Each structure stands twice: as C-alpha cells, then as structure tokens.
C-alpha cells in the first residue's frame, strides 16, 4: 500500500519526487524517504512521519539531482521508524531500492545472505531484496537489469520496485507483480509512480507495467520492457492519461474528503452520462452489451469486493434480485479466495474496487477465471490491474479519490451496478415497461436530489456532531436496501473519528445489540418513507422505550419518526431501490464533522491506506 515515485531526466529530481510523494501520501504515511543522485553523490534522507517531516529534513540534506526515487510507507515488516523507512541501500552502498508490497520468503533469504557476510540494519523485507540483487549481481557479474530479474525469480510475494545503481548512473530499473506501477513518458525524461498523479502536469503519456514485467528506464533512450520469468521483450503500449491536475487538488475545501462528498452530484451524472437516456428508455454499457448473453444465461451472480465496495455490492444484491430476478451472492474477496468456493462456468463474477488494485480482489478474480467463470470488473481507475484482468467491465467516473475514507466511489459504484441491473432486467423481461422507464427517470434525477441533500443536511449534521463528538460507541440501523447503508455509515465513523460503531439490520437489534442501548448510546436509524417504514418505526419505538438517543434519516415531510427521534435529518424522496444514493449523504457528513471536531486527520486516518495492495 506504499507509494513510490521516481524521476530521471533533465529537470531537478528532488522537487518532483517530494511533490509526487505528497500526492501519493494517501497510500501510506507512517514514514517517508528520498534518494537523489547528482552525477557524483548519492543523497539519502528518510524519517518516521509524514512527507512534510521528510521535506523539512531533506531540504537541508539532499542534493537536487537529476535522478531521484522516493517512498511513502504503510508499514508491514518492521515498525514505522527512521531505519525501516525506504529507500534501502545495499551493503556496498551502490544499490538503492524502494518497494511497495511484501516479500513472503524474506526470512530464509535473509538467513542465507547473513551466512554470506551481509549485515542488516532494518527489520524490513525490502533490505533483504536489495542485498539479494547485489549478491546476484556480484556472483554472476551481470548488469543491474538482469540481476533484478534473477532476484525476482527467487522471491515469493508482491512488489512494485524501483532500483538505482551508482555504477549505472543513467538508469532506473522498475518491476511489478501484484502492486501497481506507472511510467510517465516525456521528452527526454521518465517518471515512475504508483499511479499517474505525481506526473500529470509533466506528461499525458503513461505506460502501465503488467504483472511479471521489468522495465529498463534510461535517460534519452527508448523504454525497454521484458518478462521477468522468460526475458521475452514486451511491446511498449503508451496510454493517454484520463485525469487532470485540477482533479487532484483540494479546490478550496478544507479536506479532500469534504471535496469528494460534494462532488457526488457531478460524478454520479458523469457515471451515467452517455449510458443512460431516460427519455428514450435506453440504458447501455459496451461491456454489458458485448456480453449480454452471459449475464442473461447466468445461473447466479457472485459479487466480490472489500470494505466500502463490499457495501456497494450488498446494495446491488437487493437491486439485482428485485429487478432481474437472479440469485446473487456477495462475498468478501479476502474470504472468497481462501475457502475453496464452488464456482461454475455459468456464473458471472462482478469484482468491485475503487482503485482497481485491491490485492484480495485480484486474487479472487484469478481464482474465478481459473474455474471458468466470466469476470466483470467495476472500478474507477483506467488501466488498473482489475480492469486488465477482467474479461470485461465498466468504469465509474468518480475521478481521483484522494481521501482514504471512500465516499464518491460508493455512490458511483451503486450507480453503475443499478444500470447493469436495469439493462439485465430489460433483457430478461423481469421489469414491466412502465417500471423500467420509471427507474430510468428516477436515476436521472438522483444528482439533483443528492445536491439538495448536501445543501440541506450539512448544517444539521454539523450541529449533531457537536453533541455526539465525545461518545465512545454508536449503533447504525437500516432495513432492506438501507441495511448496507447502515454498515457503510458505521464504517465511515470508525475510519475517520476512531469511534466504535456497528451497523445492523434494524430487526436484528432485538437479537443482541438492544442490550447496549441506554441514554448514552446514540442510535442512527436510516428510515426513509419508502420500503419497510412501519417496521422501522416500531424499531425506533423500541429504542425510545430504552432511553436511546435517536438520530433519524427521514424523507422530507416525515411526521411519524419525527415524533420519536431526538434529531432528524430530512432527505429528498426517491424509490426504495435508489434511496441508498441519498441516505448515505448525511451519514458521510456526520462522520466528517465528528472527525473534524475531534481533531482527527480526516484524509489520512491512522493505520489506514487508500489502495490495499497487500493481503
């Protein structure tokens, strides 16, 4: 989950690397480091803490260089401290490496290297890898690129790496397996990064390394890519980037998370733009149209995802089963891949991931493909690993999501999945023509209703946050389509405010959680007028009779719940199936305001990282 940046060219490397690390800090922020080389001297500076801490130190210690590599870390092997920070230097001092991922067999490799006289200063698997490369280089008397290839054939695990050798001062060697790596291609210069955001203002051209590839990156020379295992050359495919600098800046908001919450009306519209033509009764996506028969004839749909994407999958389960009348199972990708699941060739597997790089979801995709299932990816990042590994797919159009706690990815994923369900229902004839057309019209209106919800609920959410910012526990309840919204609301509060919160189906409250309810326990109830309204009113009465403090999300004009709740947040009315796109808005805002009032780092919550590329 770490972020890596590299530069080789005619500019000063240090400012490019530092700026790039700041943009990748969402991937990890336990510690950071940088190496620069000015043609004579290597400068290495690293420290525990954030990139700002590194910058304060490195401004005095690092040369500008024309070659540089940098790293922002999410700790796996070894606690976050100065020594365990990257870059790591080989025993000779000639090789320098940065690494995202995990080398699973580092322990036996380390033992063997110690026997050969190598000394280790950190607890990391990465220091083992750089010394393994050096040992192979010396033993075989070969160049850096070949030594990297041979070393990587000995390791087990996942990695994206960049390696520099003082004896090859115009070259960086990069490789990937299971962790993303992009190479920006400029005029007489190259950029290396975990995603394209560090180099977007310098070039619109990028090469995304595939798993099992190594790149030899030389100043003023064509890029060379080879297969790690076979040494076979790979044709270089340059893609044009689909993002701009404005998308990765805060745009006047205090936090990326708040900016991304407020972007939801636009990104939901962007996600269905060109795919949904409500006035013509059309919903279409090329990935579905080209494979419609597989969906129509599928025995079942299996949705695999992690975290917030899993919650979007749970919403989709209700939508697919109601609209298209097909059996749906929603699985944690991390469990699915390890429990020997039953997968058939007539199953459709939908894999959901914001980043398109989630390690457990990638592994689950490979398992499903090996069993003969058709895999359809839903992700946000063009050219990501999941988009390439899937048989077909559909992109959301959320734009870059920098805040670690996902918001706009959730609503755009639900938007894509709803369109798929509607298209499938039309093909199967499981929705009447009038219902199909009604849902298209309602989905088209969602951006305006989300905008209204943002305008009317933000101040109320902030007021409620003032009352509940010091609580220790919260309970979130919802029924039907809004049970997953309760789960997502609880996750948001946990992630950014560090308050313990749990989401439950409202009817399950009586089967245990009701024991927790007293005058100190806030209970957030998602209770729109559509759906199981009478039942959830009964659940609220049960909470009230036990002195629970009730915060209710209700449809505008509600009277029944208002009589019982301590606090009410009104939202615009829509159909039950589409309500999660709106009910989630006040929960995002409530979590945000509580976290801000508690003095938490909203965009970079402790112990978390945005793109989970390790198991």
Helix (H, G, I), strand (E, B) or coil at 505: strand
Backbone angles phi, psi at 171, to 5 degrees: -150, 140
Cα 413 from Cα 407, distance rounded (Å):
10
Tokens of 283: 């919903």
Cα 162 from Cα 36, distance rounded (Å):
13
Q: Treating both helix axes as pointing N-terminal to C-terminal, what angle do 144-152 and 125-140 enclose, rounded to 10 degrees?
A: 120
Burial class (CB in 10 A: 0-12, 13-18, 19+), 368: buried
Cα 224 from Cα 218, distance rounded (Å):
9
Q: Biggest alpha carbon distance in the chain? A: 81
Query: Does the CA dihedral 584-607-194-201 come out positive or negative?
Result: positive
What DSSP element (H or E) covers 301? strand 300-305
Helix (H, G, I), strand (E, B) or coil at 312: helix
- Cα angle value 343/391/156 (rounded, 5°): 75
Is the CB of residue 1 less than 8 Å from the CB of residue 609?
A: yes
Burial class (CB in 10 A: 0-12, 13-18, 19+), 268: buried
Sheet holding 95-103, edge to edge: 88-89, 95-103, 157-165, 171-177, 213-218, 224-227, 233-234
Catalogue the active-site residues: 2, 610
Q: Treating both helix axes as pointing N-terminal to C-terminal, what angle do 483-497 and 307-324 enclose, rounded to 10 degrees?
A: 170
Query: Does the CA dihedral 581-586-592-594 come out positive or negative?
Result: negative
What DSSP element (H or E) covers 585? helix 580-597
Cα 194 from Cα 178, distance rounded (Å):
12
Residue 214: how many other CB atoms lie within 10 Å = 24
- Helices then strands (H, E): number in the chain? 19, 27
Cα 501 from Cα 523, distance rounded (Å):
10
Tokens of 104: 């699973």
Helix (H, G, I), strand (E, B) or coil at 25: helix
The partner residues of 476 in beta bridges, in order of sequence, read 503, 524
Tokens of 448: 């305006």
Cα 35 from Cα 8, distance rounded (Å):
12
Helix (H, G, I), strand (E, B) or coil at 105: coil
Cα 350 from Cα 120, distance rounded (Å):
44
Hunting for tokens 């960086």 — which residue is that?
172
User: Residue 527's closest CA among 478, 568, 560?
Assistant: 478
């Amino acid at each position: 989950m770490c972020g890596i940046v590299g530069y080789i060219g005619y500019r000063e490397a240090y400012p490019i690397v530092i700026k790039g690390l700041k943009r990748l800090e969402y991937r990890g922020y336990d510690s950071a480091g940088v190496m620069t080389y000015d043609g004579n001297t290597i400068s290495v500076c690293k420290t525990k803490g954030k990139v700002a801490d590194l910058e304060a130190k490195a401004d005095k210690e690092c040369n500008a260089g024309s070659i540089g590599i940098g790293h922002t870390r999410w700790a796996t092997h070894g606690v976050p401290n100065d020594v365990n920070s990257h870059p790591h230097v080989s025993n000779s001092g000639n090789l320098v490496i940065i690494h995202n991922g995990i080398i699973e067999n580092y322990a036996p490799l380390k033992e063997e290297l110690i026997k050969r006289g190598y000394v280790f200063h950190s607890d990391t698997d990465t220091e083992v890898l750089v010394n393994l490369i050096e040992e192979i280089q010396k033993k075989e008397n070969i160049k850096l690129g070949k030594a990297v290839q041979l070393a990587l054939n000995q390791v087990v695990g996942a990695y994206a790496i960049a390696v520099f050798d003082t004896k090859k001062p115009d070259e960086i060697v990069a490789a990937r397996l299971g962790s993303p790596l992009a190479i920006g291609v400029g005029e007489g210069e190259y950029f290396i990064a975990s995603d394209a955001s560090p180099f977007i203002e310098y070039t619109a051209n990028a090469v995304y390394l595939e798993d099992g590839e190594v790149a030899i990156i030389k100043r003023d020379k064509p890029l060379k890519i080879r297969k790690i295992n076979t040494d076979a050359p790979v044709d270089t495919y340059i893609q044009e980037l689909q993002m701009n600098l404005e998308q990765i800046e805060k745009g006047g908001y205090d936090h990326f998370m708040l900016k991304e919450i407020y972007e939801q009306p636009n990104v939901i519209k962007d996600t269905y733009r060109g795919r949904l033509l409500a006035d013509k009764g059309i919903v279409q996506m090329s990935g579905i149209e080209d494979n419609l028969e597989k969906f129509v004839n599928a025995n079942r749909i299996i949705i695999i995802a992690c975290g917030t994407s899993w919650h979007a999958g749970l919403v989709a389960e209700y939508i697919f089963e109601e609209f298209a009348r097909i059996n749906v199972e929603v699985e944690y990708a991390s469990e699915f891949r390890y429990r020997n699941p039953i997968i058939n060739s007539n199953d459709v597997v939908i894999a959901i991931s914001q980043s398109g790089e989630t390690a457990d979801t990638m592994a689950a995709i490979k398992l499903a493909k090996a069993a003969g299932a058709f895999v359809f990816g839903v992700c946000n990042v063009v050219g990501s690993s999941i988009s390439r590994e899937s048989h077909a797919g559909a992109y959301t159009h959320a734009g870059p999501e920098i805040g670690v706690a996902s918001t706009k990815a959730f609503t755009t994923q639900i938007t894509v999945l709803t369109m798929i369900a509607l298209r499938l229902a039309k093909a199967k004839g499981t929705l009447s023509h009038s219902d199909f057309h009604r849902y298209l019209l309602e989905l088209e209106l969602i951006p305006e209703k989300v905008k209204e919800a943002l305008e009317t609920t933000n101040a109320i959410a902030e007021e409620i946050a003032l009352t509940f910012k010091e609580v220790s526990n919260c309970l979130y309840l919802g029924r039907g389509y809004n049970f997953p919204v309760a789960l997502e609301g609880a996750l948001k509060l946990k992630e950014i405010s560090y308050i313990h919160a749990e989401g439950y189906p409202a009817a399950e409250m009586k089967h245990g959680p009701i024991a927790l309810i007293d005058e100190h326990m806030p209970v957030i109830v998602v209770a729109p007028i559509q759906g199981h309204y009478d039942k959830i009113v009964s659940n609220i009465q049960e909470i009230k009779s036990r002195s629970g403090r009730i915060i209710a999300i209700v449809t505008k004009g509600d009277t029944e719940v208002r009589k019982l709740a301590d606090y009410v947040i009104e939202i615009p009315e829509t159909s039950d199936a589409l309500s999660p796109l709106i009910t989630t808005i006040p929960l995002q805002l409530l979590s945000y305001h509580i976290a801000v009032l508690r003095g938490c780092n909203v965009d970079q919550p402790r112990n978390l990282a945005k793109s989970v590329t390790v198991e």
